[in-house]
Amino acid sequence: MRLSSLLYNFKQGLLNIWRNKMFSLASIATMTACIFLFGVFYSIGINFNSMVKAAEEGVAVTVYFEENCSQDIIDAIGKAIESRPEVLRYKFVSADDAWASFQQEYLGDEHASVAESFADDNPLADAANYEIYLNDVSKQTALVDFLYEQDGVREVHQSEDVARTLTDFNKLISGISVGVIIILIAVAVFLINNTVTVGISVRSEEIAIMKYIGAKDAFVRAPFLVEGVTIGAIGSIIPLVLMYFLYSSIMNYVAGRFSALGSMFTFVPIADVFKVLLPVSMVLGLGIGFIGSRLTIIRHLKV
């Protein structure tokens, strides 16, 4: 297709939008709302996932050894732990470290005399252990089963309820987000379909004349594809701009107004959010615009 034809089709596509201002504005507004809500759900989802991931990293599986277990066996258990892909990090806690941690957490300075009464007799002599932190808490059960198969392992403590809660929460957020996105896409395709249908009706006589003088099918259809894709592009750019400034404003507001909350919960940086949100939103907008106009052309444009 020559450059002049491309320019003509692009111009006609924009004119179609102008001729059907009300339908076009409705489609752009709906597309904007769809992409904006997608951005909101994605931003909420990625921040919740970040929060859940941080919580997961704080959930430890603790491995205790059999009585009089040799250091070689303990080291072998450590190597077995290190080989597991779901293990984020692990550390060895000696019996002395366990007793010191217990004193600090439960006795403190107020009950120092209680600790001193044990002198050099460590009441947690059999409490040496490995603390294991996972990169995916849903794999905790599989890891525990693996650990019980290792020689020298006496007992494994896990946070089963916490792991199940975090896993179910992740699934819930993902399911809700996917369901909302599917509904929004369906609504956007429907509105673009209606907008392009009106454009075809308005230009029916013009299309008939074009066909009469020998215009090719692709030439006749192109302006309507341009119309749908342009609506999709505009409907993607507007919410992305809104999301960029709104997300930054919310981050600054929370950090300034709720300093305690800001210290407990760190927002995902906007660059990381838009690294995925920008291309996905543009593909969604352009794709919905193209599919909506294409389906309308197939159903209503007889050339």
pLDDT tens, residue by residue, 110-153: 544 554 545 455 555 567 888 888 887 778 888 889 999 888 88
Longest dimension (CA), the chain: 106
Tokens of 4: 């002049």
Tokens of 122: 């460590």
CB 137 within 8 A of CB 167: yes
Q: Select, from the ranges 12-26, 76-90, 106-120, 210-224, the one with the highest average predicted confidence (pLDDT).
A: 76-90
> CA–CA distance from 14 to each of 41, 105, 150, 199 (Å)?
31, 70, 70, 11
Whether the model pTM is above 0.75 = no
Query: Residue 58: pLDDT band by 50, 70, 90 thresholds?
Result: low
Round to whole Å and give the CA distance between 86 and 47: 22
Average pLDDT of the chain to the nearest whole number:
75
> CA–CA distance from 187 to each of 34, 41, 182 (Å)?
8, 17, 9
pLDDT score recorded for residue 238 = 92
Q: What is the pLDDT of residues 2-32, one digit of tens each?
A: 666 667 666 766 676 677 677 777 778 878 8
Identify the structural domains of the chain with CATH numbers, from first to last: 3-55+165-300 (no CATH), 60-158 (3.30.70.3040)
**Nearest 5 degrees, angle CA 172-CA 178-CA 183?**
125
